């Protein structure tokens, strides 16, 4: 009799061990959501999108500094970049707890979200991880050692929650739960805009009911935002979003195509800095152009009738998420937790087909996300072995592997 209880046990251990290990992290990124929430509650919404005009990671607004001191935050304040609706949603929590308690709560939620993303991915696209609990345990252990996990925990970023909601929306759409899938994706896109790329994929690939549901919910949530905050704050958010999309940041923790392309044009000291430069128009055009190509290719490929639709859906969704990350102007190290999805799917396919070259490629991707090859943020970012854009390279390798896998699936179907 198979020991099904091992799977939930390993997930529980993954969550517990990581929460205990990272429980004293400062939560610098989470602080922006917390302070933003408190600012709204204190009628200081005009300070919501304060930022430093020269350095990306600084908020030196006295109102922010004063609020941080009053709420027991002792870390480094970063600017708020999410929608005002997210800060509003957090109001009941912000009013009832100080930052240390808020920080611990979200650390738990983030690791639950990562575990949930891994489970959903395995359930949909990589069943060998659920039928072989030891394989799952090994994956969870190795994934815990990657720098994206460390940086996510250090900053206590909300990215894991958004990623889980995105994969949940895909899961629901595959089961024709169109209204619910659209709602879940719209909520995720109302916090961070990136998940909306899945709706474009749905529309082109033929899942129009889920795409229509997303659009209806997303418009409704934006109308709700306008009703709650008015035009002023909503325009501030759009202005801030536009500002960020035109920023060139060559710092070591930006793993985007733009950072890779233009790093050599600036003084090497800027690699350890957070100074903002203007993103050349060609860099922006190239990024959006490559993303568009990935969207069209994935959607067009998925519409074709093939034998292994499970593998193709995994490859398509993974490619979209990776492309939306590395082809944007800014792709932080911790965004690479998205690699859990293609890693699971590629390992599952590699084991099933005994393709050693595929498993070797996966191994290289993992190594590029582990110190010392990967930059180790915060304490000692650079080592003699460090590859500054290692996680950008792992994303490119992953896109290549996913393309090869999807093409081989199509070719096998045509031959059949």
**Residue ranges covered by each domain of the chain:** 159-245, 249-416
Q: Which residue has the higher pLDDT, 24 or 73?
A: 24
Provide the whole-model pTM.
Answer: 0.92
Q: Which residue has the higher pLDDT, 16 or 231?
A: 16
Q: Name the pLDDT band for 73 (thresholds 50, 70, 90).
A: confident
Question: What pLDDT score does 343 carry?
Answer: 96
Q: Which of 313, 325, 321 is nearest to 405 (CA)?
A: 313
Q: Name the pLDDT band for 194 (thresholds 50, 70, 90).
A: confident
3 state SS of 134: helix
Question: What pLDDT score does 121 carry?
Answer: 96
Q: Name the pLDDT band for 412 (thresholds 50, 70, 90).
A: low
Task: Determine the Cα–Cα distance for residues 381 and 371; give it in Å rounded to an integer.
Answer: 9
In residues, how long is the chain? 416
Provide the CA 43 distance to its chain's centre, in angstroms: 31
Q: Name the pLDDT band for 1 (thresholds 50, 70, 90).
A: very low
Question: What pLDDT score does 415 carry?
Answer: 53
> Mutual orientation of helices 6-22 and 147-155 as an angle, nearest 10°?
60
| Three-point CA angle 278, 284, 289, nearest 5° | 175
Q: Name the pLDDT band for 370 (thresholds 50, 70, 90).
A: very high
Spatial neighbors of 66 by CB under 8 A, at least 6 apart, are none
Q: Is the pLDDT of residue 40 over 60?
A: yes
Mean pLDDT computed over every residue of the chain: 88
**Which tokens hold the place of 260?**
């890779």
Please give the average per-residue pLDDT across 220-245, as a whole number. Answer: 87
**Which tokens hold the place of 318?**
């993974």
Rg from Cα positions in the chain: 21
Please give the average per-residue pLDDT across 48-60, as a whole number. Answer: 84
Q: Is the pLDDT of residue 414 over 80?
A: no
Q: Are 330 and 252 in contact (CB under 8 A)?
A: no
Please give the average per-residue pLDDT across 246-255, as a whole number. Answer: 89
Q: Which of 113, 295, 96, 99 is nearest to 205 (CA)?
A: 295
Task: Determine the Cα–Cα distance for residues 17 and 381; give it in Å rounded to an integer.
Answer: 24
Task: Determine the Cα–Cα distance for residues 263 and 267; give it in Å rounded to an integer.
Answer: 8
Comparing 167-171, 193-197, 269-273, 387-391, the range with the smallest average pLDDT is 269-273
Provide the CA 402 distance to its chain's centre, in angstroms: 18
Question: What pLDDT score does 364 carry?
Answer: 95
Question: What pLDDT score does 15 carry?
Answer: 96
């Amino acid at each position: 009799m198979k020991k099904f209880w091992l799977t939930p046990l390993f997930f529980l251990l993954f969550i517990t061990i990581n929460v205990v290990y990272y429980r004293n992290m400062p939560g610098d990124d989470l602080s922006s959501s917390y302070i933003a929430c408190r600012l709204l509650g204190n009628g200081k919404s005009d300070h919501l999108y304060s930022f430093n005009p020269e350095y990306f990671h600084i908020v030196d607004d006295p109102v922010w500094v004063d609020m941080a001191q009053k709420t027991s935050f002792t870390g480094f304040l970063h600017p708020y970049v999410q929608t005002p609706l997210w800060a509003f949603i957090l109001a009941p929590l912000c009013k009832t707890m100080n930052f240390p308690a808020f920080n611990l709560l979200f650390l738990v939620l983030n690791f639950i979200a990562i575990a949930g993303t891994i489970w959903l991915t395995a359930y949909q696209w990589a069943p060998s991880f659920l039928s072989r609990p030891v394989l799952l345990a090994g994956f969870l252990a190795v994934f815990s050692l990657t720098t994206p996990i460390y940086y996510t925990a250090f900053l206590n970023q909300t990215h894991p929650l958004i990623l889980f909601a995105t994969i949940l929306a895909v899961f629901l759409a595959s089961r024709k739960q169109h209204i619910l899938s659209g709602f879940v994706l719209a909520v995720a896109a109302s916090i961070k805009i990136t998940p909306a790329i899945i709706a474009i994929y749905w529309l082109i690939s033929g899942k129009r009911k889920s795409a229509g549901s997303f659009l209806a919910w997303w418009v409704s949530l934006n109308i709700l935002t306008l009703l709650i905050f008015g035009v002023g704050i909503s325009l501030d958010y759009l202005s801030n979003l536009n500002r960020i999309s035109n920023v060139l940041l060559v710092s070591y923790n930006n793993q985007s195509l733009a950072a890779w392309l233009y790093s050599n044009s600036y003084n090497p000291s800027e690699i350890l800095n957070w100074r903002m430069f203007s993103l050349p128009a060609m860099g922006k055009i190239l990024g959006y152009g490559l993303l568009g190509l990935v969207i069209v290719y994935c959607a067009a490929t998925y519409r074709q009738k093939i034998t292994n639709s499970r593998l193709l859906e995994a490859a398509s969704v993974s490619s979209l998420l990776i492309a939306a990350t590395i082809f944007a102007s800014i792709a932080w190290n911790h965004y690479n937790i998205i690699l859990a999805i293609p890693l699971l799917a590629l390992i599952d396919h590699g084991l099933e087909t005994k393709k050693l070259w595929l498993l070797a490629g996966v191994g290289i991707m993992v190594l590029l996300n582990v110190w010392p090859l990967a930059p180790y943020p915060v304490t000692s970012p650079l080592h003699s072995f460090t590859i500054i854009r290692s996680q950008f390279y792992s994303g490119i390798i992953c896109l290549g592997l996913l393309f090869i896998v999807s093409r081989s699936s199509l070719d096998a179907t045509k031959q059949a």
